[in-house]
Copies of this chain bind each other. A is one copy, B any other.
């Protein structure tokens, strides 16, 4: 069985297959029998819960409150905002009936034609429409603003090609929806939430991200501006990991949300929305993991430390148990999540492989000789380095080691990412190289035509106009026209 666990396709053979296998073998998720819908297994869900908890705290620190809005959206709501319906009507699940009845053969159920809805309902692909239809009743005066709501929920988009976590018909996410009295305040909020996402990605997920603004083509349907964080996977492709939208007054107008402003005039409310989803799980897995399995950042690992005993007989085990119990108690007192696996139905070698596969950041092993010598073996998952240390001060050592691993995998990912960002001024050169991955910083003339040509020629897209790049004017590498700034171009998930 240990062999089977290790039997993971190598990244160098097929990065894509490696990912698909890893998600299943590490017990994170699996396909269900419902097309495109996944089952998130307990180990995967435990990581998602840690992501949720950390993000939720950060949202609340900025004044956001959670709420809950209906799953189903009347079909007509979608049509209110012209771009929005264009973006979402093509891929939605439609509820048309509200009852089943026994079939004629009495061996199954069929849709009851008598129970047809007057107006069809859509399973939310995103909730701007139903939420702004609600805000209409909450907002009369500037004193009612801002409204800062978030919901954690499921959404559904009828994707044709799905991959676990990265693109599924149903996924879990949070969607924040805010209403403001001024344009400036709304724009600030949209940017503030992007920063929350970027901080979370870098400090918790240990995933470095490029922050920037999307081109018009790549904007959210109904937004005036879409801000994004883009992460680089180990194959050099970009993964859009979170977006925050400045929606202007589009939804305020579509749902007639007007308020009396400070100047006593009627004005449409200003909006933002922002979300991250279970797609973050994909980013987490693909950024750090290796051919032995998952590598998890300690801050999001359900089990941060695992301890495995090696013993020849019950007596030895009992002595090790006693010693380890003290270490476990001390680790827990420091808030470290630790598992002592002294189950006797699996060999140590199997356990080692399994916890490596599951990405547990630190493994401690204690054998009979360790017990004699007051030592313990420490292995760190990120580098797979082992050392034998004295048990004196081991708890503080492990605590610091967890911090070091968190920092190290971030730096490793950042080094990789930075080494694969290229300035490029020649389209032939670009076309030859973009296939192999990497982020390309290229001058762009700002036209949709150029953008479309790049996509057609290379499948690469403009990921964003990055914020943290010192911009100088130049010449568009495709059209030869003047360009004000460089954009980040890459193939993406």
Binding site for B on A (CB under 8 A): 30, 32-34, 37-42, 45-46, 48-49, 65-76, 78-79, 85, 89-102, 107-109, 111, 120-123, 130, 133-134, 137, 143, 149, 153-154, 156, 158, 170, 172, 345
Which residues of B have CB within 8 Å of A158? Answer: 98-99
- Quick check: A45 and B67 within 8 Å, CB to CB? yes
The CA of A10 and the CA of B89, in the complex, are separated in Å by 47
* Cβ contact of A68, chosen from B40, B69, B79, cutoff 8 A: B40
* Cβ contact of A39, chosen from B70, B94, B345, cutoff 8 A: B70
* Cβ contact of A75, chosen from B70, B98, B109, B154, cutoff 8 A: B109
* Interface residues of A, dominant DSSP: mixed
* Cβ contact of A66, chosen from B30, B45, B149, B156, cutoff 8 A: B45
Which residues of B have CB within 8 Å of A89? Answer: 99-102, 109
- Quick check: A121 and B70 within 8 Å, CB to CB? no
The CA of A267 and the CA of B348, in the complex, are separated in Å by 31
Indicate whether A107 sits within 8 Å of B95 (C-beta atoms), given known contacts A39-B134, A68-B172, A69-B32: no
Nearest opposing residue in chain B for A168, CB measure:
B70
- Quick check: A37 and B93 within 8 Å, CB to CB? no
Nearest opposing residue in chain B for A43, CB measure:
B65
- Quick check: B96 and A96 within 8 Å, CB to CB? yes
Which residues of B have CB within 8 Å of A71? Answer: 37, 123, 154, 156, 170
Counting every copy of the chain, the complex holds: 2
The CA of A33 and the CA of B133, in the complex, are separated in Å by 8
Q: List 6 A-B contacts (CB under 8 A).
A: A34-B74, A39-B70, A42-B65, A90-B99, A92-B99, A94-B100
Which residues of B have CB within 8 Å of A122? Answer: 100
Which residues of B have CB within 8 Å of A107? Answer: 79
Nearest opposing residue in chain B for A156, CB measure:
B71
Q: A34-B74, A39-B67, A89-B102 are in contact. List 7 more A-B contacts (CB 8 A).
A: A33-B134, A34-B121, A39-B70, A42-B66, A70-B170, A92-B100, A94-B96
* Cβ contact of A96, chosen from B38, B48, B111, cutoff 8 A: B111
A-B pairs with the 3 shortest C-beta distances? A42-B65, A37-B70, A89-B100
The CA of A94 and the CA of B117, in the complex, are separated in Å by 10
Which residues of B have CB within 8 Å of A170? Answer: 70-72
